[in-house]
Amino acid sequence: MEVLLIKDVERLGKRGALVEVKRGYARNYLLPLGFAVPATEENKRQVEKRRALWLAEEARLLEEVRELAGRLAKVDLKIVEKASETGHLYGSVGEKAIAEALAAAGMPLDPKVVKLEQPLKEVGDYEIQLKLHEEVTVTIPVRVRAEGREDWLPGQEEPAAKAGEGDAEEVESTEETPPEGD
């Protein structure tokens, strides 16, 4: 069945495109959700009238996305999760967690723009791609750290051991001492 897309549909086409799809996909998804209209002569004329407006809107959107990409390139994201002594996370860091961390940093994004091959399951430093637009992709650094040991990475000396030595000195210095001169 031929339909005209009136909205961009991922892996199918951009708005204004004439595409051939299975009848069930058109009737059950594209048409009822307003992504497409039947490919009649009247609808083709309407789409042609809207095309100039869509192109201008697309150019404006692309400029906004490039500006956002420039701001995102400066972001250094740190996510703190519970982890084992070896650096294995008890959970994992996925698209949603990265999007939430970006939102907390003042850059709210849809989790769908975060492109992970698989969730992050280890403490470490990662380079994560964000696909903001089909023409704009930006890579941001994401540092995943263990809760309570934010400065530690697997393979490094445990900073908690250093802190433990300092804590022992504090305990000694806070012991009560008898008043002098009595």
Average pLDDT estimate for 115-144: 91
Q: What is the pLDDT of residues 63-87, one digit of tens each?
A: 999 998 999 888 889 999 999 888 8
CB within 8 A of 160, min separation 6: which ones? 148, 149, 152
User: How far is it, in rounded angstroms, from Cα 139 to Cα 130?
Assistant: 6
Average pLDDT estimate for 164-168: 45
Take residue 61 and report the two structure tokens written for it. Answer: 């959107």
Q: Looking at the domain that runs over 2-60, which CATH code has it been given?
A: 3.40.5.10
| CATH tag for 73-156 (out of 3.10.430.100, 3.30.420.10, 3.40.640.10, 3.50.50.60) | 3.10.430.100
Residues of the chain with pLDDT > 70, as a percent, come to 85
Instruction: Say what the pTM is.
Output: 0.65
Q: Are 50 and 16 in contact (CB under 8 A)?
A: yes
Average pLDDT estimate for 134-155: 86
Domain coordinates of the chain in residue numbers? Answer: 2-60, 73-156
